[in-house]
Structure 1
């Protein structure tokens, strides 16, 4: 191989190496700018979301939950059966939903039913999104019993949601009588188990029925079940050894 060929080959190799280094440097610079922009965007989104959440949550974030001390107190304790255990609502909710994806803001009883329910009643627990308000209204009108509903939306859409929810609650007479509404604000789309668990956790009766909001109530199963609570099947239900599965016909 001549000296000229070797020199030309070296020049080509050096040029290829230079191009490769330039591509790597340029790509890394672009990716660095993208990462910086993404961090700034997420920071601004989180700040806006926290501010919007705070506007909605201000009515509940400082509340305290009270539990009476157990009447079966050990002899060596100085506590009395009338003493109350105090815990902030924020701490309780953070533990109750510790396995869920965060950020997550749960606001129990954003709307609270005016009626007082018996403990052996049956609360329908369900989850509702913005586009299912119409069928939710139909469910409430048909059931005429306690309902615990989780309403979910993203923090960025909270104002439109609250306006629509207010219109729904005030335009359906049975809503304010029978329905407890719990808000769940999170940027994630499909935490279905978290939403269902919130509705079940805040149900105010001993028995609950998990129901998809799209299902229509076509039989008076509530009265039939309550009438059988003193029978054998009712005793098994009370002991927590059985669950009833309702066939879906409509």
Structure 2
């Protein structure tokens, strides 16, 4: 079986010529992580390479990266040199090359597929998918190691751990003093120098719930989940559903199925990420965003019905596992087939 055929089987909805240009472990790390460790999963371009270098300096663990770039040999050799010169990259970062014959975003292999590619070849049991311009301000790996037994059980059962995101009100300066403790972060939040960042929500108002997080000392569940919610989460590489590749870029779609199948979203009380300015802005046009939003509205109905039927077929409809879908999808289920599954409780 040729390489292109193998890749096209893994990414069945992508064009063959696109999958043929995927090169797993194009650059492979010299150190192998432990199976029960956690890998960051992210996507970069040559323009955001400096983000990856910064991320590797902050994160002393494994990173699995999809690199999207053109087929120019000179450009690729330059990236290879930069990789080999940076000790943290060559030690712990795997680069999976996704070549494009033309610059810019390729709709043949959208960013959701790039995320799946990096996840597929991550070398650890647990992953944390995140944009490359985010940096971990706390020692998340130490938190997981300290609570290993409890966290392993939650993640292998299908739950996820939410890592709160914080940002700066003004994203123009290149110099930022990152807070490395929760107490210092909250001082900046109280002074309006930083804010809780939940995309699609106003600052400090998202489902992560800043008011609860301020005083939390243990894990707490997300009680105001919404299908647009797209936090950074730590999850099992093998248990969780994969990102829906019909979307060019929708991290919310990667998590919605996890929630509907009964996975709980537990927020870490002391760890957090900080967003720094983007080097490259999204290339999605206003028209692309309209299409994405319409697709996602239909995806919401589709996933509600799909997972409701699965849970009902498995005899789990009356149990705790279906609580999320009965709450989130009540209107859909009541109107689909005139209540063939039954009224939500």
TM-score tier by shorter-chain length is 0.5 to 0.7
Q: Is residue 2:145 matched to residue 1:219?
A: no
Q: Taking structure 2 as the reference length, what is the TM-score of the superposition?
A: 0.44
Q: Is residue 2:152 matched to residue 1:238?
A: no
Q: Is residue 2:36 matched to residue 1:120?
A: yes
Structure 2: give runs of 5+ residues left out of the alignment. 167-273, 275-345
Q: Is residue 2:82 matched to residue 1:168?
A: yes
Of 146, 166, 170, 2:62 maps to 146
1:126, 1:199 within 8 Å by CA — same for their partners in 2?
A: yes
**Separation in 2, partners of 1:161, 1:189:** 17
1:125, 1:148 within 8 Å by CA — same for their partners in 2?
A: yes
Structure 1: give runs of 5+ residues left out of the alignment. 1-86
2:29, 2:92 within 8 Å by CA — same for their partners in 1?
A: yes
1:115, 1:177 within 8 Å by CA — same for their partners in 2?
A: yes
Of 115, 122, 137, 1:196 maps to 115
1:120, 1:226 within 8 Å by CA — same for their partners in 2?
A: no
Deviation at 1:246, TM superposition (A): 0.9
Q: 1:215 to 1:94 in 2, by over 3 A?
A: same
**Separation in 1, partners of 2:116, 2:124:** 15
**Separation in 2, partners of 1:91, 1:120:** 31
1:137, 1:168 within 8 Å by CA — same for their partners in 2?
A: no
Of 126, 144, 164, 1:247 maps to 164
Q: Is residue 2:52 matched to residue 1:133?
A: no
Of 15, 19, 22, 1:106 maps to 22
Q: Which residue of 1 aligns with 2:172?
A: none
Deviation at 1:89, TM superposition (A): 4.2
CA RMSD after TM alignment? 1.7
Q: Which residue of 1 aligns with 2:330?
A: none
Deviation at 1:154, TM superposition (A): 2.7
**Separation in 2, partners of 1:129, 1:210:** 16
Q: Taking structure 1 as the reference length, what is the TM-score of the superposition?
A: 0.60
Query: Which structure carries more helix by proportion?
Result: 1
Secondary structure at 1:120 match in 2: coil
Of 9, 13, 16, 1:95 maps to 9
Q: Which residue of 1 aligns with 2:190?
A: none
- Count, aligned residues: 160
Tell me which structure has the larger Cα radius of gyration.
Answer: 1
2:5, 2:16 within 8 Å by CA — same for their partners in 1?
A: no
1:112, 1:176 within 8 Å by CA — same for their partners in 2?
A: yes
